[in-house]
Amino acid sequence: MDDSQEQQDRHFMELALSLAETAAAKGQTPFGAVVVNRDGKLLGEGYNSVRADRDPTAHGEIVAIRAAWRAVGAWQMLGGCALYSSCEPCLLCSFVITQIGFSRVVFAARGSDVPTYRPLLGADLAVAAAWVNSQPDWPPLEVVPDFMRERALQIITAFPWAQASTRTRVESTR
């Protein structure tokens, strides 16, 4: 990885991690993400708002993708973009990432770092990307794992996971 790519990765991962901290401060699970186009322009950002919005799909990655889609006007324009996430995307998010045709995902913590982690079918982004990259008719997906993982682990460790398991309503993020 060249220096300019690493600087860009660090900048956008800092933003994703900051969004994870915002989520935690609002009583949401500590996950944040950003979408960046090929030119390095921020298109969308988001953090987990599942309980606040009563939306089981409002994962940080999905919230960021929705914001990016609104910014560019068509989901097809997100093909080739990069997604930075404070944690490895789950299968729900991985499906959306691959269907849109993101070319790169950089994540900090692994799903298995989360105390309440329960992978569907024993899979997450790493498994999904390996399958996608073996398909001749799918766009390739570069995955950069464990980028700034120690910082993400600090955020995850500080979160009160017992509170998250109660699934109580918190104030809306909107």
- Active-site residues, by number, are 61
Burial state string for 87-96 with b = 16 or more CB within 10 A and e = fewer than 16: bbbbbebbeb
Are 33 and 83 spatial neighbours (Cβ–Cβ below 8 Å)?
Answer: yes
Lateral strand order in the sheet of 42-47: 42-47, 32-36, 82-87, 104-109, 142-144
Extract the tokens encoding 109. 């913590």
Q: What is the DSSP letter of 78?
A: G
